[in-house]
Structure 1
Amino acid sequence: MKAVELFSRFEQDIPPSYAVPGDQNGYIGTLDPHIFDVQKILVLMDYILPESPNIDYSLYDLLVLHHPPPISPVIPTYVIHSNWDIVTGGACDALADALNITSFDVLDESTGIGRIGGIDRETEDIITQGRFIHEIMATLRVHDIRTVNCNRFQPVGTICVISGFGLTPPLISKAISKGVDIVVSGDLTHPGAVLAKNANITLIDATHHATELPGLYRLGEMISSYGLDVQVRNFGIPWTRSVNRGVRREYDNH
């Protein structure tokens, strides 16, 4: 398939017009898309040079990234970012499906970001926040979860899921205005936590990376349906955590 044909399929299924203003989407490269063929595609969340020794880019015709790269990749690249978060069936819906949440509303009608719904259960079991967090950790395979206003015995009510970056004050405020009980996303900030504390809304930060993984794999499946050879690789979060439990400071007890 010519690259220009593939890009046309991308833009038909995931319209660039859905992207938030100022977002980077589309083709990055010097080769003319009308000239080169695409058969083997590598799908990544991020382009990070230290990971490059683990990848032989010469095996692929195209790199598809979810996040816009901070530097120019070594092969032709196509970025599918916020339009994938927003489009029906995209990253937000993939996250909802992974967590067995049936959506009935969109968080932000002006952009299409976020899905609001409830847990889809065949039984009458009451799902507590503690059990829900356990299921999030097991499903998304994440062990570093931060919460605000979590009561593990409280039944789960209305849930909003936002793939990636949703725990910002503006989106938390929208969730509050819509009567949401729990927001699941990533990128929790201090101001967002303070806002949630005062509004008594529960926040679950399952990390930016983990909440976008269901969407990344779904993106790979969509591209595979075009009849192309697609590999999705996950390198995890781009940092390490260091904890020194042996250091005691005078203010630790205050």
Structure 2
Amino acid sequence: MYANDIFNIIDELVPRKLALKNDKFGYFGKTFDNFDIKNIKVILDLLPEDDLKFDKGDLVISHHPPLFMPKTPTYVVHSNWDIVQGGANDALAYYLGLKPISIFHKQTGIGRICSSTKTLDQFLALVCYKFGPENVRLVHDGDFDKMLRKIAIVSGFGLSNKEFIKLAKDRSVDAFLSGDLNHSNAIYAKKLGITLIDVSHHIIEIPGLFALKELLRRNEDITVPVEMIDNGVPWKYISADF
């Protein structure tokens, strides 16, 4: 398949017009002369060491824009994938058994508010089972038996945004699940009395990455293999015996 044909298919499935203003998306590469593509690799982040491992004929579909000019042809679907129906946030809801009932941030289309029939304790048990307890942090003061009727979710970065935490309070959700929580926003959430469930940015994006791979793989017009690559977090943990 030619790269331009794949780009056109992606743009139909995940419209560029949905992307946030000033977002970086689309083609990243030194040149573009409609490459002949043999394989599609779906990843979260393209790192320099990974870029060197790809073969001629590979096309990278990355969720996050690369921070360097890659040698491998790379196409980015970023905020438009977060926003589109069936994209990253809907995939996250499905993975957690939640039913989206409305958009969380209506001005942009980011995030979902979902209905729930679980207590906080039950939902935390599910989140830890799905993502691993080592990847989960909680900001909460109160009753673990309280019912979570409405849960706000944002795939990736939501807890780094103070406006989103305030919006969760304003929209009367019972808990807000996302990633990238920092110290000051945790203090702010305690001040507001809002329950936050923080999951590692990397791992909370994996359901959406898998959904993107399946969306491309099942498209009858894409005739080359589609593979998802999870290259892990971009850091190492230091043990006591390093």
The verdict on a shared fold, with TM-score over 0.5 as the criterion, is: yes
Give the corresponding residue for 1:122: none
Give the corresponding residue for 2:208: 215
RMSD over aligned CA atoms reads 1.9
> Quick one: which amino acid aligns to residue 139 of structure 2?
V
Match of 1:148 among 136, 139, 142: 139
Residues 172 and 160 of structure 1, relative CA distance in 2, 3 Å threshold: same
Q: Distance in 2 between matches of 1:240 and 1:203?
A: 26
Give the corresponding residue for 2:37: 38
Q: Report the more deviating stretch, 204-213 or 191-200.
A: 191-200
Give yes or no for the alignment of 1:69 onto 2:66: yes
User: In the TM superposition, what is the alpha-carbon distance from 1:191 to its structure 2 partner?
Assistant: 2.5
Give yes or no for the alignment of 1:9 onto 2:12: no
Alignment of 1:87-126 (within 5 A): 87-119=84-116
Question: Percent of counterpart pairs with the same letter?
Answer: 36
- Aligned residues of 2:51 and 2:70 also touching (Cα < 8 A): no
Give the corresponding residue for 1:130: 121
- Structure 2-normalised TM-score? 0.90
> Whose Rg is larger?
1
User: In the TM superposition, what is the alpha-carbon distance from 1:39 to its structure 2 partner?
Assistant: 3.1
User: In the TM superposition, what is the alpha-carbon distance from 1:243 to its structure 2 partner?
Assistant: 6.7
Residues 202 and 233 of structure 1, relative CA distance in 2, 3 Å threshold: same
1:99-141 deviation digits (Å, cap 9, x = unpaired) = 011011101111000100113xxxxxx6221221121122234
Q: Distance in 1 between matches of 2:213 and 2:133?
A: 21
- Aligned residues of 1:106 and 1:114 also touching (Cα < 8 A): yes
Q: Distance in 1 between matches of 2:227 and 2:120?
A: 35
Residues 60 and 99 of structure 1, relative CA distance in 2, 3 Å threshold: farther
Give the corresponding residue for 2:168: 175
How many pairs align? 235
Task: Return 5+ residue gaps in structure 1 as ranges.
Answer: 120-125, 245-254
Give the corresponding residue for 1:250: none
1:122-163 deviation digits (Å, cap 9, x = unpaired) = xxxx62212211211222345221111154332223101100
Q: Report the more deviating stretch, 44-53 or 175-184.
A: 44-53
Residues 232 and 108 of structure 1, relative CA distance in 2, 3 Å threshold: same
> Quick one: which amino acid aligns to residue 228 of structure 1?
V
- Aligned residues of 2:36 and 2:57 also touching (Cα < 8 A): no
Task: Return 5+ residue gaps in structure 2 as ranges.
Answer: none
User: In the TM superposition, what is the alpha-carbon distance from 1:52 to its structure 2 partner?
Assistant: 5.5
